[in-house]
Homo-oligomer: A and B are copies of this chain.
Amino acid sequence: MSLKNIFLTLLIGCFPFIMFSGNGYDLWLRYDKITDVHLKQSYLNNLSSVYKFGASPSLDVATKELVTGFHGFFEAQISKAAKIEKNAIVLGTKENLPQELLSILNSDFEKINEEGYILKKVTYQGKKITIITAKTDVGIVYGTFRLLKEIQLHHEISALDIQDSPKIQKRVLNHWDNLDRTVERGYAGFSIWDWHHLPDLIKTEYIDYARANASIGINGTVLTNVNANALVLTEQYITKVKALADVFRPFGIQVYLTARFSAPMEIGGLKTADPLAPEVRAWWSKKTNEIYAEIPDFGGFVVKANSEGQPGPRNYDRSHVDGANMLADALAPHKGIVMWRAFVYSEENPDDRAKQAYSEFVPVDGDFRENVLLQVKNGAIDFQPREPFHPLFGAMPDTNIMMEFQITQEYLGFSSHLVFLPKMWEEVLNEDTFTHGENATVAKVIDGSLSNRKLTGMAGVANIGTEKNWTGHPFGQANWYGFGRLAWDPYLDSKTITKDWLQMTFTNDDGFVTPMAELMIDSREAVVNYMTPLGLHHIMDAGHHYGPGPWIKDMPRADWTSVYYHKADSLGIGFDRTVSGSDALSQYALQIQKKYDSPETIPQKYLLWFHHLPWNYKMENGQNLWINLASKYQEGVEEVEKMNTTWSKMKPFVDNERFNKVASLLKIQLKEAKWWRDACLLYFQQFSKMELPQFIPTPEHNLEYYQSLKSPYAPGIKPSWN
């Protein structure tokens, strides 16, 4: 075989590796080979070697990532040089840079915060170099991932001049993972935390999880379920948690745990967990010290208290402030924080569930310690396909308020439906709370700028599990990715996120990126339409929340039923939350009240959230409510049909494994969209007593059939709950 023939064989040989790596494990960090010869050369001209000022584990992971990226892009090694070469990549924190470089970068450093980075082409000692610098180690890691991203996006890198900083401080994933490895509301297999083998076995997955998070700026992970297990606070488990913390530290990721409020009794042998009892306060203080002895940068506690059966200060006639501040005091000496969830609703309180958190917390604004964040879900009910923003945003100017988004799709089709959630989160972040006049958006509450808060945060309930591709649905990865991007910058538009993610995860080919970005953006409205259009909400089947269940009633609590939320009857449909109803609307600013108070002026998307209206209510388009409702359901189904068609044309751009998987899942999504449409319309028709419009295809089954469907082993609920 001639040299040329061997060369060709190798070329052929190498190529399929790219098309073969379709299991999705690499996420958006694929570092696909740069095949364009000119582009490749232009990059290689700018990336001769790596040089480091100083040394640290974070610098090591940054360097390793550059090696990995270089190998992927160019199938070659990048050398680690002993001195700065022409076109070198130079890494180092501010304190380790020589004076000459510092003076060049002086104004750049002014533009970044403690976690920000500078990525810049500069001339140093007569040589052009690419400098990645920051005030802290983790900034170097972020800057490194930014450089790699620029290459992934095929951007020009010969004149880089980037200064970027996160706008929110605590950017954390919440894992609702149990110690037995089940995951509450997990649809991507089971927990990636293999507690049984910790601390001795450090799985590659832990490192790759940290890489993925660091690449999008996530700097915290809550390892355990908010429905907490006190055992994780025992010595046996703290050792395991420490092992994970050690892995994550160089990537700038802190670990947090959920604190079960009754832990002092369950594992501490105390007779009470009263937050004002001295022995309880002493126990938490000692426990916290124990944790910090092992994990000096431990993040703190997340607490779900007095909510859905969890213990809390209310068990002792103490307030949420008493509970949160007690833990905050234990953590304060170590600079730890408490994330106290605002998702509370009383077992006795018959008031509209949408109102209760506001009623509970607004009166205590200003009473929480400085190291407490009140963690508020985006809406007042529970992670629905669409909710108005939570009225607590903007209503507690003297409290640190953080956002809780749900990345796992509990109410949005599990891991079978392609729904791009950043589009939804963007909608919430852009909403105006009118707290201090106009343009007081939720984003400004969250980043602290509106009320000059010092401690800020955003949490996302993770959609990560043991599936080979982490998230089950290949497009579930985009929601993890997008959460990180929005936690870094809550003003980012979701379209940018789609494009970046698509290019990094699939291909830079515009024939793929443009239609798929549109598909992703449209996917959110699709799911709203085929599940809960016009402001409907919480009409999923009970418990597991899989599939439609508008007929659900007779649960242990009225507000766990569907009929509580849609209130369909012969007179109409919808939840009257105006003054004639629950008056939840009064929790919003006057500007909003005024607009939402009338069904004529309220945005149609919130219509039935706030109003109970007759079936023949005439809407803007001249058609009645029933026709409009049916029309929205049909639109949703048709959008999913369109998604199927679009994807079918993407085969040339995608490896077989991911192409087939998405194609199968889109078929499931279409089947379930039709199921939703047919089941809901047949159910509501009982009340509307009107014909299905002609544009609705005849349902495949009757209402009894849909009501008879049972899914006892739908994922995401504890096996023992079945």
Interface residues of A (CB under 8 A from B): 3-4, 6-7, 9-14, 16-17, 23, 25, 71, 74-77, 178-182, 189-190, 195-197, 200-205, 231, 414, 416, 466-468, 657, 660-661, 664-665, 667-668, 671, 711-715, 718-720, 722
Contact = CB atoms under 8 A, between A and B. Distances in A.
A10 B11 contact: yes
A466 B189 contact: yes
A75 B661 contact: no
Given A181-B715, A196-B714, A201 B665 contact: yes
Contact of A668 (B11, B200, B722): B200
A685 to B, nearest CB: 26
A12 B77 contact: yes
A98 B203 CA distance: 54
A661 B201 contact: yes
A697 to B, nearest CB: 20
Contacts of A23: 25, 204
Contacts of A414: 196
A190 B181 contact: yes
Nearest to A658: B204
Contact of A14 (B4, B14, B416, B667): B14
A451 to B, nearest CB: 43
Given A7-B3, A180-B713, A664-B200, A71 B13 contact: yes
Given A204-B657, A661-B201, A182 B719 contact: yes
B195 A12 contact: no
Contacts of A665: 197, 201
Contacts of A718: 719-720
B201 A664 contact: yes
Contacts of A657: 204
14 contacts: A3-B4, A7-B7, A9-B75, A16-B71, A23-B25, A189-B189, A189-B466, A196-B713, A196-B714, A197-B668, A200-B664, A200-B667, A201-B661, A231-B712
Given A181-B713, A189-B190, A202-B664, 7 more contacts: A10-B11, A181-B715, A190-B466, A196-B714, A466-B466, A468-B468, A718-B720
A13 B75 contact: yes
A138 B713 CA distance: 35
A201 B181 CA distance: 24
Contacts of A74: 9, 13
A4 B10 CA distance: 13
Given A205-B468, A719-B719, A200 B3 contact: no
Contacts of A660: 202
Contact of A179 (B10, B668, B713): B713
A6 B76 CA distance: 10
A221 to B, nearest CB: 20
Contacts of A720: 718-720
Contacts of A71: 13, 16
A563 to B, nearest CB: 26
Most chain B beta carbons < 10 A, residue from A189, A196, A416: A196
A722 B201 contact: no
B200 A671 contact: yes
A201 B668 contact: yes
Contacts of A11: 10
A17 to B, nearest CB: 6
Contact of A10 (B10, B25, B180, B202): B10
Contacts of A664: 200-202
B179 A9 contact: no
A497 B665 CA distance: 40
Nearest to A717: B180
Nearest to A546: B196
Contact of A76 (B9, B195, B231, B466): B9
Contacts of A205: 468
B200 A14 contact: no
Given A10-B10, A75-B13, A719 B178 contact: yes
* 5 smallest beta-carbon distances between A and B, as pairs: A13-B75, A720-B720, A180-B719, A179-B713, A466-B466
Contacts of A195: 713
A664 B198 CA distance: 10
A365 B10 CA distance: 63
A7 B6 contact: yes
A416 B197 contact: yes
Nearest to A76: B9
A646 B76 CA distance: 33
A465 to B, nearest CB: 9
A14 B3 CA distance: 16
Contacts of A719: 178, 180, 182, 718-720
A14 B7 contact: no
Contacts of A179: 712-713
A665 B179 CA distance: 20
Contacts of A189: 181, 189-190, 466
Nearest to A415: B197
A246 to B, nearest CB: 14
Contacts of A231: 712-713
Most chain B beta carbons < 10 A, residue from A23, A25, A75, A660: A75
Contacts of A668: 197, 200-201
B196 A715 contact: yes
A406 B367 CA distance: 60
A468 B74 CA distance: 27
A718 B6 CA distance: 55
Contacts of A204: 23, 657, 661
Contacts of A715: 181, 196
Nearest to A75: B13
A23 B469 CA distance: 13
A335 to B, nearest CB: 31
A387 to B, nearest CB: 26
Contacts of A712: 179, 231
Contacts of A196: 414, 711, 713-715
Contacts of A12: 75-77
A706 B201 CA distance: 22
A432 to B, nearest CB: 40
A672 to B, nearest CB: 10
A233 B715 CA distance: 20
Contacts of A7: 3, 6-7, 10
Contacts of A667: 200
Contacts of A203: 661
